[in-house]
Amino acid sequence: MIGARLYRTVRFICVLAALAAAGIVAPTAAEAQTAARVTHVVRSGDTLSAIARRYGVSVAAVKEWNDLQGNGIRAGQRLTVYTTRPAAKTATRTASRRAARAAAQARALREAQEPRFKLDETGALVPDLRAEAAIIYNPETGQVLWEEHAQDQRSIASITKVMTALVFLENNPDLAQPVIIQRPDVYRASTTYLRAGYKVSAEDLLHLLLIASDNAAARALARVSPHGSPPGFVARMNEKAAELGLTNTHYADPSGLLSENVSTAYEMARLIAYAAGDHRIASIMQKPEHSVAVGRRHITIHSTNQLVMKGDVDVLGGKTGFIRKAGYCLATLLRLPQGGPQVAVVVLGAKSNAGRFWETRHLFNWLAGKASDLLGAPVEAAAN
């Protein structure tokens, strides 16, 4: 052990001497005595200069230690680095950052769990929305029970997949048909359980689409539809939106990854109510989990909708969505307790994953307290 440590120190000092001769500033010889040998595994996006800065050494030193002729490195490559930067301090800084993030997330969760209210222009107590837009809509009467910025056009992320399911199913396809996943389906799909070459039934692709919000599943369904290609399928999505009177809704791709998929909270409330009227869609949206057969393997997927996962609210249909431009989104059709009426609650642009679900709960509970005025019948609040 002593010999190995001596060897590392001598090698480190030799490199420092070479660097000094080249006029490169490097750690002192005294610091070399405490140098530690570190193996750095190159990650995607790493550069030699970034690695050198991380360990407080020079690019030339890293190249010398690893016999590199140029600056090219590849993901997965293992590089030896001799650093005088104390590992404990680095670990402490990392732990501190993680603790700070965890504390911030905990504060945000506590804030999201607490309902906020304000007085409207009539002096009535109404929800004080944290998200960018939201609505409570009665699909039976077409009445807007409450809204804020519900007519503002916004990116809707994976709520797009509701229309994807509607368009795919409108010609009553054979859901048992096998679909072979192709490379374009999974390319930069972000969220997917699928791989090129997998053979999956159309029914399982629908489950992946609506339960796990799988982007490759959306592309595959569009590809095997009668519309033949993503552009043709998207054109039909926009035609369908026009047929339903969704004049502020526009689709750019079947998955929702593109920020050009836009609509309003009002129109998404109408759409989720319409889609939940199709038992093939509603029955999938109501499932907390599903097992997908891929050859001899089975993959268990879980719903991205926490209201479905917890099960204390009667969810008739729902779809989550998130991309950075859209924020956290949720469109749901809920049935009020004791056989009450259906209401669509849509939240767009929430600040966190948990926030969209708590915002929906707060709106539901506010409605429960106003049910006798707005719906003509008392309603129990959702559990917190």
β-pair partners for 117: 127
Question: If you ran DSSP here, which 8-state letter would residue 157 be given?
Answer: G
C-alpha to C-alpha distances, 239 to 141, 222, 230, 246, nearest whole angstrom = 25, 15, 14, 10
Q: Pick the residue with more confidence: 151 or 51?
A: 151
Q: Is the pLDDT of residue 114 over 90?
A: yes
pLDDT digits (tens, 9 = 90+) for 167-196: 999 999 999 999 999 999 999 999 999 999
Collapsing DSSP to helix, strand or coil, 281 comes out as helix
In the predicted model, what is the mean pLDDT of residues 44-73?
Answer: 88
Q: What are phi and psi for residue 126, nearest 5 degrees?
A: -130, 165
The model's pTM is 0.75
- Of the listed ranges 275-279, 301-305, 377-381, the least confidently predicted one is 377-381
pLDDT at 4: 54
* pLDDT reported for residue 179: 97
- Alpha-carbon distance of 17 to 137, in angstroms, equals 74
Supply the mean pLDDT for the chain: 88
| Distance between CA atoms of residues 218 and 171, nearest Å | 17
pLDDT bin (cut points 50, 70, 90) of residue 25 is: very low
What 3-state DSSP class applies to 73? Answer: coil
For the chain, domain boundaries: 2-89, 116-374
pLDDT (tens digit per residue) in 308-327: 999 989 999 999 999 999 99
Hey, what CATH class is 2-89 in? Answer: alpha beta
For tokens 């192709």, the residue is: 182
Using an 8 Å Cβ cutoff, are 167 and 237 in contact?
yes
**pLDDT at residue 24 is higher than 50:** no
How far is the C-alpha of 257 from the C-alpha of 152, rounded, in Å?
20
In the CATH scheme, what architecture does the domain 116-374 have?
3-Layer(aba) Sandwich (3.40)
Confidence of residue 5 (pLDDT cuts 50, 70, 90): low
Instruction: Give the side-chain half-sphere CA count within 13 A for 3.
Output: 0
Task: Single out the residue of 329, 280, 243, 322 nearest to residue 168, CA to CA.
Answer: 280
Q: In angstroms, rounded to a whole number, what is the distance separating the alpha carbons of residues 192 and 190?
A: 6
For the chain, the C-alpha Rg in angstroms (whole number) is 28
Q: Which residue has the higher pLDDT, 42 or 286?
A: 286
Q: What pLDDT was estimated at residue 202?
A: 97
Most confident option among 14-23, 79-88, 153-162: 153-162
Predicted confidence (pLDDT) per residue in 328-362, tens digit: 999 999 998 877 899 999 999 999 999 999 999 99
Whose tokens are 């404990």? That residue is 88
pLDDT at 384 over 60: no
